[in-house]
Amino acid sequence: MAASPRTQSRRAALRAAAALPLLAAVPAAAEEYADATAVLAAIDRLEAEVAARLRTVAAASPAAAALSASLLGDQAAFRAERSRLRRRLGLAPAPDAFAAPEGIDADLPALRAALDRLVYAHAEGLPAVDDPHAVQRLAAHMVECARHLTVIDLWLEAERG
């Protein structure tokens, strides 16, 4: 996909930011999104993978059922709000379902990695959304996804003893 003027502007901004020696908050290889459509599509796809991994982990470990149900419930609310944001932004509706990767194992580190990618997609996508309300709402979803990520981190730390 050719870079839009906005994407080029973002790249210039990120290059300028990367030149600051102390700008540790922004990962060096931040994903570039051309517009809100691309951001929301990435979030839909990554969220579907997290959901599939959560279900697999819960199926293998009944103790994780309540956690999985809670996180999947949050995701359902986020999907509903993204539909409203698409209407607000004049974007086409999302497809009904996103295919999750096949052959998923009940692997906690892989679930953690998928959640990490989902959090990053929200963070890196915000500057491409260009609508203050939509930015604020996606940031609120990002906060919840980051909480989910920390819950999994704490679980992993507990398992490592």
Partner 1 sequence: MAESRRAALRRVAGLAGLSLPVVDLLGGARVRASEGLDLEILGAALALEHHALAIYEHGLERGLFPPGLRDYAVEFRGDHLGHRDTQVALMEERGGRAPEAKRDYGLGRFDTAERLLKEALTIEVVAQDAYLRLIGNIRTDDYQLAAAFILVDEVRHATVWKRATGARIY
Binding site for partner 1 (CB under 8 A): 9-10, 13-14, 16-17, 20-27, 30, 67, 70-71, 119, 122-124, 126-127, 132-133, 135-136, 139-140, 142-143, 146-151, 153-154
Closest to partner 1 by CB, 106 or 146? 146
At its nearest, how many Å lie between partner 1 and the CB of residue 19?
9
At its nearest, how many Å lie between partner 1 and the CB of residue 30?
7
- C-alpha count within 13 angstroms, C-beta hemisphere, residue 34: 8
- The DSSP annotation for 60-103 comes to H-GGGHHHHHHHHHHHHHHHHHHHHHHHHHTPPPPPS--PPPSS
At its nearest, how many Å lie between partner 1 and the CB of residue 126?
5
At its nearest, how many Å lie between partner 1 and the CB of residue 102?
28
Q: Report which DSSP code applies to 2.
A: P
Calculate the dihedral angle through the C-alpha atoms of 85, 87, 91, 93, rounding to the nearest 10 degrees: 100
Closest to partner 1 by CB, 82 or 122? 122
Q: Report which DSSP code applies to 35.
A: S
